[in-house]
Amino acid sequence: MAETYETAAAFADELAAHGLRHVCISPGSRSTPLALTFARHPAIQHWIHHDERSAAFFALGIARTTGVPVAIITTSGTAAVELHPALVEARFGRVPLLALTADRPPWLRGTGANQTIDQVNLYGTNVKWFEDAPLAAVTDEPRTRAMAARAWAEALTVPAGPVHVNFPFDEPLMPPADLPAPGESTRTTTWTPPSHVPGEASLRSLAELVEGRRGILVAGPVSSHGFQPAITDLARAAGLPILADPLSGVRAGPHDLSQVVAHHDALAQAGFFDREPPEVAVRFGAVPTSKALNSWLASHRSRPYAVVDVTGWRDPGGTAQAILTADPAVAAGELAKIITRPAPAEWRRAWLEADAAASAALAEPQPGFTELDAIGAVLRAVPDPATVWVGSSMPIRQVDLLMDRSPKRLRLLANRGASGIDGFLSSGIGSAVAGTEPTYVVAGDLSTLHDLTALGWAGRHRADVTIVVINNDGGGIFHLLPQASLPEFEELFGTPHGLDFKAAADLFGLGYTRAADSAALTAAVSATPAGPRLVEVRFERSAGAQAYIEAVDRVRRRLATES
């Protein structure tokens, strides 16, 4: 079966030549040619995972942190299906992944052969590109290398995302005794990414939309290099406030923060948007976290609203009057150069004063220790610089509400492409092993239970990661939703489990701290990372929602007092 390994080697070598540095491998027999070839390649770091689902989210964490595609290798059958949730997140979250699945040869499909399912187009539209690779006996090295180069290019072409290559392997699967070692990688195909520079006419049209008008710039989740200085230049030229999502990279960092409105979610919930209604809005990047902001834009259809993004028609409210498909950083930077009439000075000042009032209201001391206190303690305690992964559901909403402008170099990341809670710990741990900054993961209890195998991986490999688990014994976010009034609420939505996480930390070899107040949590998070740590903070579930509601009420009262 020398030809099988020659084909696998050509594929791996071409990917390595393009820049592949990480591959996640789960055990299996049919994937032996891929697993051995990639594991033996000197330019590729391999990571072994027992759980394919966890492996895929781990790869996603590396790829989101580095911006470079990561490969995942599985055997055939349900092992390949386990990748699907992470590929969905990667598709909507714009993360480049290479799903490499082993398969039985075509003549065994549909015959009832063991561990054989239909893997052709297994992930449907949730991958950008699919290739059912030919058997090694009917292909050659140039075609294999071309397939690898295309897989790489498809994963990185904006918007980045996952691709799937399915490899049918016939037996025998073991390598020949005289298999040569991999040589120096040399790419055979060059690839130039497409340009997303906006046209002059489109920029002029957008400039005319905002010039001299009382508007807002919305900075959604953006991975575009240079976006922070570009959006601040635009805000300065146009005289507009920047409503910065925590995942935009604009709310924290050494760049100019003087035009950033950090608490726009609280302001939207407290009614400030109706008191100072924007005449125009321009959003850069993906849809922001704030439901209140998105709802306001969707319900005010008469207000001109433009979206600047590298992909598709990302307008769930259906109210955007202009869609500009362009790199947000380039578009913002070029737009800043041609705007000559800013909004009245008092417009941006009013928003910044309201933001300061919201900040003061949110900082007012309250009795007891709440989930918001825990979130605030973590944000204050992490070092500069740091990477902070924030869980979907309640944690990201609490961060959005509470997080102030900060000069700290904080990189906030989350799986908000499809906003699932599965695989979250794995993503954060993958990020930790690939990144250069201390990494912190802020997770809810249900997402932690969902991904316990990730704790096993962190313990075995002594990953330097601090995991803060907000344990409120179930689904805290549902207390903010209409379902809270249903008689079946506790069973169907609250879903209590009655567990703590010390036993899990002990089982998997993680350091453990139970923090009962802000001081204890601050001390635990501030400690120098040395291997994996789990810090648990426990709360009564409904109290988290109540603290959130009361925080918005404080902002509402403060705005009323200062109006």
pLDDT in tens, 408-460: 999 999 999 999 999 999 999 999 999 999 999 999 999 999 999 999 999 99
Token readout for 11 is: 């594929």
Residue 57, C-beta contacts closer than 8 angstroms, at least 6 positions apart: 85, 86, 89, 415, 422, 423, 424, 426, 427, 430, 451, 454
Same domain, yes or no, for 108 and 220? no
Last residue of a domain, one of 117, 149, 168: 168
**Could you report the per-residue pLDDT of 161-172, keeping only the tens digit for each?**
999 999 999 998
Give the pLDDT score at 199.
85
Closest CA to 292 of 223, 240, 354, 243: 243
pLDDT tens column, 141-198: 999 999 999 999 999 999 999 999 999 999 989 988 877 777 667 777 777 777 778 8
User: Which position has the token pair 């900040």?
Assistant: 359
497 and 399 in a common domain: yes
Q: Does 164 reside within a domain?
A: yes
Closest CA to 317 of 304, 331, 301: 301
Residue 175 domain flag: no
| Backbone angle region of 463, left / alpha / beta, with phi > 0 → left and psi within -120 to 50 → alpha | beta
Per the domain annotation, does 265 fall within a domain?
Answer: yes
Reply yes or no: is the peptide bond before residue 172 cis, omega within 30 of 0: yes
Give mean pLDDT, residues 498-527.
97
Q: Which residue has the tokens 């409210």?
A: 317
Beta-bridged to residue 97, according to DSSP, are 70, 162
Which residue, among 1, 253, 220, has the nearest Cα to 93 in the 3D structure?
Answer: 220
- The band of 2, judged by pLDDT with boundaries at 50, 70 and 90, is low
Helix (H, G, I), strand (E, B) or coil at 296: helix
Kindly state whether residues 273 and 157 are assigned to the same domain.
no
Cα-based distances in Å from 120 to 83, 103, 278, 403: 14, 10, 49, 45
Same domain as 204, residue 341 = yes
Query: Do 387 and 420 fall into the same domain?
Result: yes
Same-domain pairing of 347 and 452: no
**358 and 258 in a common domain:** yes
Terminal alpha carbon distance of the chain: 78
Is residue 152 a contact partner of residue 128, using CB atoms and an 8 Å limit? no
Burial of 180 (0-12, 13-18, 19+ CB in 10 A): exposed
Q: Is residue 187 part of a domain?
A: no
Across 49-173, the runs of DSSP E, i.e. the strands, are 70-74, 97-103, 129-132, 162-168
Number of structural domains (the chain) is 3
The CATH number of residue 433's host domain is: 3.40.50.970
- Where is 54: in which H helix or E strand? helix 52-66
Query: Tens digits of per-residue pLDDT, 24-72?
Result: 999 999 999 999 999 999 999 999 999 999 999 999 999 999 999 999 9
**pLDDT grade for 342, boundaries at 50, 70 and 90:** very high
The radius of gyration of the chain's CA atoms, rounded to the nearest angstrom, is 25
The distance of Cα 219 from the centroid of its chain, to the nearest Å, equals 16
Q: What order of strands is seen across the sheet that includes strand 465-471?
A: 410-413, 386-390, 439-444, 465-471, 533-538, 511-514
- Percentage of residues in the chain having pLDDT higher than 90: 86
- Is residue 456 classed as helix, strand or coil in its secondary structure? helix
- 233 located within any domain: yes
Confidence band of 302 (pLDDT split at 50, 70, 90): confident
Give the containing element (helix H, strand E) for 471.
strand 465-471
Contact 101/30 with Cβ under 8 angstroms? no
Residue 525, CA atoms < 13 Å, CB-side half-sphere: 30
Pair type for strands 97-103 and 45-48: unpaired
52-66 vs 84-93: helix axis angle to the nearest 10? Answer: 20
Q: Decide which of 362, 390, 410 is a domain's last residue.
A: 362
Residue 56 contacts by C-beta under 8 Å, 6 or more apart in sequence? Answer: 24, 72, 82, 83, 85, 86, 87, 97, 99, 423, 426
Q: What's the rounded mean pLDDT across residues 316-340? A: 91
Residues 310, 177: Cα–Cα separation, whole Å: 49
- Residues sharing a CB contact under 8 Å with residue 464, sequence separation 6 or more, in sequence order: 432, 438, 439, 529, 530, 531, 532
Same domain as 447, residue 512: yes
Sequence-ordered strand ranges (E) for 336-464: 386-390, 410-413, 439-444
Does the structure show a pLDDT above 70 at 259?
A: yes
What is the C-alpha separation between 253 and 408, in angstroms, rounded?
Answer: 5
User: Among 92, 22, 14, 13, which residue's Cα sits nearest to residue 63?
Assistant: 22
- Rounded to whole angstroms, how far apart are CA atoms 246 and 531? 27
Length of the chain (residues): 563
- DSSP labels for 300-323? -TTS-EEEEESSTT--TTS--SEE
- Per the DSSP assignment, residues forming a β-bridge with 242 are 217, 260
- Same domain (yes/no): 158, 210: no
Instruction: Give burial (CB, 10 Å; 0-12/13-18/19+) of 563.
Output: exposed
Indicate whether 274 belongs to any domain.
Answer: yes
Whether the upstream peptide bond of residue 180 has omega within 30° of 0, thus cis, is no
The CA distance from 210 to 108, in Å, is 61
Q: Residue 278's domain is classified under what CATH number?
A: 3.40.50.1220
Q: Both 207 and 284 in a single domain?
A: yes
User: Closest by alpha carbon to 370, among 524, 551, 525?
Assistant: 551
378 and 512 part of one domain: yes
Sign of CA dihedral 491, 495, 499, 504: positive
Same domain assignment for residues 405 and 296: no
Lowest mean pLDDT, pick from 224-228, 272-276, 331-335, 356-360: 224-228
Question: What would the two tokens of residue 404 be?
Answer: 């102030």
Of the residues 311, 342, 362, the one at which a domain ends: 362
Structural domain contains residue 173: no
189 located within any domain:
no
Kindly state the tokens that stand for 437: 């900054």
Please give the pLDDT value at position 181.
75
Q: How far apart are CA 19 and CA 256, in angstroms?
A: 34
The pLDDT tens digits for 80-114 are: 999 999 999 999 999 999 999 999 998 888 888 88
Do the Cβ atoms of 39 and 14 come closer than 8 Å? no
The pLDDT tens digits for 456-469 are 999 999 999 999 99
pLDDT for 51:
95
pLDDT of residue 33: 96
pLDDT higher at 180 or 515: 515
Which residues span the domain enclosing 26?
2-168
